[in-house]
Structure 1
Amino acid sequence: MHFNKTIPELSVFDIKKSKKFYIDRLGAKIEYERPEDKFVFLSLEGNQLMLEEIHADGWNIGNLTYPLGQGINISLEVTDVDSIYQRIKEHSISLYRDMTVSHYAGANEMIEQKEFLLQDPNGYLLRFNRVGDSSHYRPPTPPYVRNRIRRFNNLSFCLNRLVQFGQIY
C-alpha cells in the first residue's frame, strides 16, 4: 500500500458513527483498522484519512468539543465530484457550502475547482473538489492595471502622433 506524505489523523467522538458516515455516505474504503484501538485507516480516490476515537491516552492538546477541527478544512480531490454531491443530497446531509465553481490564483495560472463543503459528524469541514481545465479562464483585469494600460496607450498614441508630424525623430 502506498502512503501519502501527509495523512490527517482525526480524533472522533464515536468511531462506529464516523466509519458509517465515511464509508456508507461518502464512499470511502477501509484500508486497515485496529478495532481494539478504535482506529481505522480510510481512503477515497487516493485521499487518505485516519480516524481514532477520542480517549484519555490520545494526543489531545486541548479541549475537544464539537465542532472538532475548527479553523481548518480538509480538501479531497475526486474525479467525479457530482456523484459524491448527489450521494450527499440523497442522504439528506446538510451542506456547509453548496456546489460552486471557484477560481483560485496559482503560481502561474488561475485554477478552476468545482467544489462543495460539508461537515462530518464530528464537525470537521470537508471540501470535495475536482480541478478543472483552467486554461480557458481569464481573470478580470484589476482596475489599477487597466489604468496603467490606458495611460500607456495614451502615451504611445501621443508619441506616434509626434513622430507622424515630424516633431520627434
Structure 2
Amino acid sequence: MKIEKTIPLLRIFDVDKAREFYIDWLGFQEDWVHQFEENTPYYIQISRGELTFHLTEHYGDCTPGGKVFIDCSDLESFFNELQTRPYKYYRPSIEEAFWGANIMSLTDPFGNRLLFNEYKKA
C-alpha cells in the first residue's frame, strides 16, 4: 500500500462561519460542496496548496476539538498575509516551540485546532 494523501475531517456547525474563517481569513478555496437537499448538513472540501480539509456538519462524522499538526515552510509569510485581512475573533502569533520549531496555533469557531509548524534549519 502507498498512501497518496491524508485529508482530515473537521466538524463544523455553521457553514457560513466556517467559510468566514477558512476561506475569507485563512485563504483556502472551496473545491466542492455536497448537500443532499435544502436544510440538510453540508459537507465541503477546501484546500490551500497541498493542504486539504473536509468540513462536515454531519453528526457522527467526527467530533469537534481535534488538532491537526501541519508541517510547513515560510510560516512568517503566512502570518503576515493573515495580518492583511484581520479576523475580529483571532489575533495569532508565532511562537518558538521547545522542539526547535516556530509554530502558529489557531482554533476555528468550532473548537478544532490547527498547529502550523516550521522546523528551524540547523
TM-score (norm 1): 0.56
Structure 1 residues 60 and 103: CA distance shift in structure 2, 3 A: same
Once residues 116 and 31 of structure 1 are traced to their aligned partners in structure 2, the CA distance between those partners, rounded to angstroms, is 25
Post-superposition offset of 1:20: 2.6
- Please name the residue that 2:54 is paired with: 50
The 3-state SS of whatever aligns with 2:30 is strand
Once residues 94 and 73 of structure 2 are traced to their aligned partners in structure 1, the CA distance between those partners, rounded to angstroms, is 15
Q: Give the number of the structure whose residues are more often helix, by fraction.
A: 1
TM-score (norm 2): 0.74
Letter in 2 for 1:100: E
User: In terms of Rg, which structure is larger?
Assistant: 1
Post-superposition offset of 1:103: 4.2
Once residues 34 and 27 of structure 1 are traced to their aligned partners in structure 2, the CA distance between those partners, rounded to angstroms, is 20
**Unaligned stretches of 5+ in structure 2?**
none
Aligned length: 114
Q: Which of residues 82, 88, 102 in structure 2 aligns to 1:88?
A: 82
**Unaligned stretches of 5+ in structure 1?**
105-111, 136-169
Once residues 131 and 101 of structure 1 are traced to their aligned partners in structure 2, the CA distance between those partners, rounded to angstroms, is 10
Q: Which of residues 92, 96, 103 in structure 2 aligns to 1:115?
A: 103
Q: Which has the higher contact order (CA 8 A, sep 6+)?
A: 2
Post-superposition offset of 1:31: 2.5
Give RMSD over aligned pairs. Answer: 2.6
